[in-house]
Amino acid sequence: MAPVRPMRADARRNYERLLRVAAQAFAEHGENASLDRIAKRAGVGSGTLYRHFPTRRALLEAAYVDRIEALGRRADELAGELPPGEALMEWLHEWCVATIQLRGMKVLLGAAVTDGSPAARTVCGTAVQGAASRLVGAAQAEGTLRADLEPIEVLRLAHGIATASELGNGHVGEIRRYLTLLTEGLRP
């Protein structure tokens, strides 16, 4: 295998500028933001965008990978601060809020709740599914969550809650109520 050459300084600047502009565009317009407009706002040609990011999903994931990995790390922080059931509830709340507030992340977090698809095996899917597995397992061991639940099921239900909250005019205040209703139904 040939060694990977480091990026030239100008290519690195273009890459970073594309990521900043893409994150803004996806936040404003969702995952279907115009890639041509992203390239133009970043001051590069479409060819440069596609050279760095061959697909929309590749750009979307690169734009949000830091935030999604931070959600994964946040699960561990919460697990160290709160009892397992509360840590799971708080993390699901933060996950739902991110799904609504960062519009472009919705498609990535939605892909993370699928089971076995190539999209779920991305860095984003791995971070989210790993965090959910740790929190769900701890809540089950504590006895505050049904033993027959799979972490992927909890993620799917949380994604549904985010969608329901978004349909209810996108008010994130409803998320805690919906999560409470959900988790009370998931207790043993």
Domain range list for the chain = 9-54, 62-186
Query: Yes or no: is domain 9-54 CATH 3.40.462.40?
Result: no
Cα distance between residue 131 and residue 158, in whole Å: 14
CATH superfamily of domain region 62-186 = Tetracycline Repressor, domain 2 (1.10.357.10)
CA-nearest of 172, 101, 98 to 112 is 98
Cα distance between residue 100 and residue 24, in whole Å: 15
pTM for this structure? 0.80
What tens digit of pLDDT does each residue of 106-122 get? Answer: 777 777 677 555 544 56
> What pLDDT score does 80 carry?
97
Cα distance between residue 106 and residue 63, in whole Å: 13
Q: Which amino acid is at 12?
A: R
What tens digit of pLDDT does each residue of 109-166 get? Answer: 777 677 555 544 566 678 888 999 999 999 999 999 999 999 999 998 988 888 888 8
Place of tokens 């999604």: 68
> In degrees to the nearest 10, what's the CA dihedral of 141, 99, 158, 166?
150
Q: Which amino acid is at 155?
A: L
